[in-house]
Amino acid sequence: MANVDVVNMNGDKVGAMELADGLFGPDQVNEALLWEAVKQYRASLRQGTAATKSRSEVAGSGKKLWKQKGTGRARIGSVRSAIWRHGHTVHGPKPRSYDYAFPRKKLLGALRSALAAKLADGKLTVVDTLELGEAKTKLYRAALGKLQANRTVLLVENGKTLSRNLLLGARNLSGVELLLNNEVHPYDLLRYERVIFSAAALEQLTGMLEKSASKRKTGAAAHLAGSEAA
């Protein structure tokens, strides 16, 4: 079992937390799966508003400009032709969604990989609570400085312990984002230089990931047993 120190908002150690090797071991980092998860997430963010005009949408008369034969010129049917200036665009982009389905099992696997990568890099911090006495941005900036989080930071809290002070104190911090543990995406973990979990948030998240991993192993074992019996 891997251990991680639990500190308070002053950076002082107040305890320790055991992390399952099946989730946080160095062999759990799957870079290919992380790439797939990030690619799908970024695709879902695309607006997809690029548009070009088809032949029916371009301004211009539909009249034939000159007769088909006898002029010595190339035959032409409309001024809106794609080969003419101000004509339509052939096979141009139209508004569409770039989002696509991403299997939940792959998403959870990428989340496990992202957490393991952060822990291996020493960029994952666990605090007993993210709560401070007052909802002041200056106090949270000072606390993050004590936790050696001076660049971009992702704060992850449990929904049951999320307080008004934390929401108000962290919302105006530059380079800092606050998320609930059930909203965290692998892209969020990779995007920010340091991730700070409350102990309750990490415990609940790892419990969910352990449960999904055990189901995956049970299903794989049952499938293997069935194939051997056949």
Task: Residue 48: count other Cβ atoms within 10 Å of its Cβ.
Answer: 13
The Cα 197–Cα 203 span in angstroms is 9
- 90-124 burial, b at 16+ Cβ within 10 Å, e below that, comes to eeeeeeeeeeeebeeeebbbbbbbbbbbbbeeebb
pLDDT value of residue 228: 56
Highest mean pLDDT among 3-12, 55-64, 157-166, 206-215: 55-64
Residue 69 lies in a domain: yes
**Based on the domain organization, do 198 and 119 belong to the same domain?**
yes
pLDDT value of residue 58: 92
Interval 146-204: pLDDT, tens: 888 888 999 998 887 778 888 888 888 888 999 898 889 999 999 999 999 988 888 88
* Site of tokens 């080969």: 83
Interval 39-74: pLDDT, tens: 999 999 999 999 999 998 999 888 899 999 999 999
Mean pLDDT of the 3-24 span: 82
Residue 171 lies in a domain: yes
Residue 230 lies in a domain: no
Cα Rg for the chain, rounded, in angstroms?
A: 28
Distance of CA 38 to the CA centre of its chain: 6
- Measured between alpha carbons, how far is residue 40 from residues 46, 110, 143, 186 in Å? 10, 12, 34, 11
Q: How many domains is the chain partitioned into structurally? A: 2
**Based on the domain organization, do 121 and 157 belong to the same domain?**
yes
**Based on the domain organization, do 60 and 119 belong to the same domain?**
no
Residue 229 lies in a domain: no
* Site of tokens 């998860």: 37
Interval 91-134: pLDDT, tens: 999 999 999 999 999 999 999 999 988 888 888 989 888 888 78
99-100-101 Cα angle (round to 5)? 135
pLDDT value of residue 223: 46
**Based on the domain organization, do 130 and 174 belong to the same domain?**
yes
The Cα 15–Cα 227 span in angstroms is 47
**Based on the domain organization, do 127 and 181 belong to the same domain?**
yes
**Based on the domain organization, do 112 and 213 belong to the same domain?**
yes
Residue 196 lies in a domain: yes
**Based on the domain organization, do 71 and 181 belong to the same domain?**
no
Which of 63, 92, 121 terminates a domain? The answer is 92
Which of 92, 120, 148 terminates a domain? The answer is 92
Q: Which two tokens stand for residue 179?
A: 């998320």
DSSP reduced 3-state for 129? coil
The Cα 91–Cα 88 span in angstroms is 10
Which CATH number does the domain housing residue 144 bear?
Answer: 3.40.1370.10
* Site of tokens 């990490």: 202
**Based on the domain organization, do 113 and 40 belong to the same domain?**
yes
Range of the domain at 147: 2-46+102-222
The Cα 175–Cα 162 span in angstroms is 20
Give residue 204's region: left, alpha or beta (phi > 0; psi -120 to 50).
alpha
**Based on the domain organization, do 106 and 188 belong to the same domain?**
yes
Residue 227 lies in a domain: no
**Based on the domain organization, do 182 and 166 belong to the same domain?**
yes
Q: Which two tokens stand for residue 1?
A: 């079992």
Residue 97 lies in a domain: no
**Based on the domain organization, do 56 and 159 belong to the same domain?**
no
Residue 156 lies in a domain: yes
**Based on the domain organization, do 19 and 72 belong to the same domain?**
no
